[in-house]
């Protein structure tokens, strides 16, 4: 049997299997916390270009304004719309941490013209003209934005040259003092880079991010909140970590055969020979694999998976899983890259 194929800290276990089960649909509760009048689970997220305070949002039955930390509440798995008065910034599926990049469906980074336009606009209307200490959108600015409309899909040059944009920026900044012009593209991107650096240096706990073409099918994050480590019957004699969303762990440990679970589940298994991840969505399935042994059966160190048993964490850094050629794989078409750290506690040990 292969040994020590993961980069490890502390006590090394030669047989490691991690099963992560993140149920979506009716079992989804990405960050936990209450429910809406429709019965949907409610979670909190944060909107960042530094922190953005005073941004309006709507998610299902929930409406509100981001607070001083940029915090918003949302219905898990449902769309969220951000706006300022009559100015619509974007509608996308909500998640725990969002930036202007997330509001543009086609954007993969800050170079997208619509993202640049959003960055310039938000930073310009900051009430104290210092986005480095957070963007604050005043009540006066929000009231002035009522009835306004801005087209963020214009090219960067056309956006800056737009009379409608120039007038709106002048009016929205003028209510807090002297009217200002739109800040430069370079200034906006330089400021936003500090936010991107912060996000990179401060990953959300117990969140695995998914990147790659197939992430559009499943979403960009797996949020996990309940854990069990040991040798549960459903896995067998191999030490295993099982992680689920709120309220699902005991259901999984009991091995309850519920069709709704089978239809809407993400099962991730990392063992001493590699990774197998199956994502079931509405009766269809995506299966992804990563081998930590070569074709002869010899072990190859999986350096991008770091297990720290003493501190009860496992970290994935640009861990790439490939779509399986199995006939049961009906959704997986391209590689997925996993990033993030999962942590469990002594209370989670079986």
pLDDT given for residue 264 in this prediction: 56
Residues 86, 125, single domain; the answer is yes
Q: Domain for residue 312, yes or no? A: yes
Question: What span, in angstroms and rounded, lies between the C-alpha atoms of 274 and 240?
Answer: 14
Q: Comparing 244 with 100, which gets the higher pLDDT?
A: 100
Q: Domain for residue 195, yes or no? A: no
Question: What span, in angstroms and rounded, lies between the C-alpha atoms of 79 and 56?
Answer: 14
Residues 236, 298, single domain; the answer is yes
Work out how many domains the chain is built from and give that number: 2
Q: Comparing 291 with 136, which gets the higher pLDDT?
A: 136
pLDDT given for residue 240 in this prediction: 73
Q: Comparing 217 with 148, which gets the higher pLDDT?
A: 148
Q: Domain for residue 344, yes or no? A: yes
Highest mean pLDDT among 83-87, 197-201, 248-252, 329-333: 83-87
Predicted confidence band at 290 (pLDDT cuts at 50, 70, 90)? Answer: confident
Residues 79, 14, single domain; the answer is no
Q: What is the mean pLDDT of the chain?
A: 80
* DSSP string computed for 206-272: TEEEEESTTHHHH-SEEE--EEEEE--TTT-SS-EEEEESTTTHHHHHTT---HHHHHEEEEEEEET
Q: At what angle do helices 113-124 and 185-201 cross, to 10 degrees?
A: 100
Residues 25, 48, single domain; the answer is no
Domain coverage including residue 338:
6-29+204-348
pLDDT at 136 over 70: yes
Tokens of 168: 């709106």
Q: Domain for residue 331, yes or no? A: yes
pLDDT given for residue 29 in this prediction: 30
Residues 51, 90, single domain; the answer is yes
Q: Comparing 245 with 279, which gets the higher pLDDT?
A: 279
pLDDT given for residue 344 in this prediction: 87
Residues 236, 313, single domain; the answer is yes
Question: What span, in angstroms and rounded, lies between the C-alpha atoms of 237 and 1?
Answer: 14
Dihedral Cα 74, 80, 87, 56, nearest 10 deg? 0
Q: Comparing 93 with 117, which gets the higher pLDDT?
A: 117
Q: Domain for residue 189, yes or no? A: no
Residues 178, 87, single domain; the answer is yes
Q: What share of the chain in percent tops pLDDT 90? A: 43
Q: How does pLDDT run across 211-229, given as a tens digit for each residue?
A: 899 888 877 777 777 888 8
Pick from 153, 183, 213: which residue ends a domain? 183
Q: Domain for residue 317, yes or no? A: yes
- 288-293: which pairs have CB atoms within 8 A and are 24 or more residues apart? 288/321, 288/322, 288/323, 288/324, 288/332, 288/335, 288/336, 289/321, 289/322, 289/324, 290/319, 290/320, 290/321, 290/322, 292/2, 292/5, 292/6, 293/2, 293/5
> What are the beta bridge partners of residue 267?
21, 278
Residues 327, 217, single domain; the answer is yes
Pick from 122, 152, 183: which residue ends a domain? 183
pLDDT at 12 over 50: no
Pick from 150, 183, 216: which residue ends a domain? 183
Highest mean pLDDT among 5-19, 30-44, 309-323: 309-323
What mean pLDDT is predicted for residues 270-298? 72
pLDDT given for residue 141 in this prediction: 97
pLDDT at 273 over 80: no
C-alpha dihedral sign at 30, 32, 36, 39: positive
Residues 140, 240, single domain; the answer is no
Q: Domain for residue 86, yes or no? A: yes
Residues 142, 24, single domain; the answer is no
Q: How does pLDDT run across 29-52, given as a tens digit for each residue?
A: 323 334 455 545 688 899 999 999
Nearest of 311, 328, 250, 306 to residue 4 by alpha carbon: 306
Q: Domain for residue 192, yes or no? A: no
Contact 205, 343 (CB under 8 A): yes
Q: Give whole-number Cα distances, 112 to 91, 233, 303, in Å.
A: 17, 49, 33
Residues 144, 209, single domain; the answer is no
Residues 22, 57, single domain; the answer is no
């Amino acid at each position: 049997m292969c040994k020590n194929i993961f980069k490890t800290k502390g006590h090394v276990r030669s047989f490691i299997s991690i099963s992560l089960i993140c149920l979506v649909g009716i079992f989804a509760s990405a960050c936990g916390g209450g429910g809406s009048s429709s019965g949907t689970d409610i979670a909190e997220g944060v909107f960042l270009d530094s922190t953005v305070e005073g941004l309006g949002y709507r998610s299902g039955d929930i409406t509100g304004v981001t607070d001083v930390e940029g915090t918003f509440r949302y219905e898990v798995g449902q769309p969220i719309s951000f706006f300022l008065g009559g100015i619509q910034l974007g509608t996308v599926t909500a998640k725990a941490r969002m930036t202007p990049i997330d509001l543009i469906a086609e954007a993969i980074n800050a170079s997208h013209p619509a993202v640049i336009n959003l960055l310039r606009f938000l930073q310009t209307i900051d009430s104290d003209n210092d986005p480095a200490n957070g963007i604050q959108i005043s009540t006066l600015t929000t009231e002035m934005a009522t009835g306004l409309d801005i087209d963020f899909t214009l090219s960067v040059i056309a956006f800056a040259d737009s009379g409608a944009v120039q007038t709106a920026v002048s009016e929205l900044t003028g209510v807090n003092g002297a009217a200002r012009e739109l800040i430069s593209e370079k200034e906006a991107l330089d400021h936003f880079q500090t936010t991107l650096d912060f996000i990179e240096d401060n990953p959300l706990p117990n969140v695995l991010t998914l990147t790659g073409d197939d992430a559009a099918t499943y979403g960009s994050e797996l949020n996990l909140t309940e854990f069990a480590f040991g040798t549960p019957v459903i896995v067998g004699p191999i030490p295993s970590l099982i992680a689920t969303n709120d309220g699902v762990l005991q259901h999984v440990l009991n091995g309850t055969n519920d069709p709704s679970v089978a239809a809407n589940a993400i099962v991730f298994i990392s063992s001493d020979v590699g990774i197998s991840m199956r994502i079931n969505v509405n009766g269809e399935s995506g299966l992804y694999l990563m081998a930590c042994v070569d074709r002869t059966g010899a072990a190859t160190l999986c350096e991008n998976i770091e297990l720290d048993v003493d501190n009860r964490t496992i970290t994935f850094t640009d861990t790439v899983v490939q779509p399986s050629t199995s006939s049961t794989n009906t959704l997986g078409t391209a590689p997925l890259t996993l990033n993030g750290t999962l942590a469990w506690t002594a209370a989670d040990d079986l």
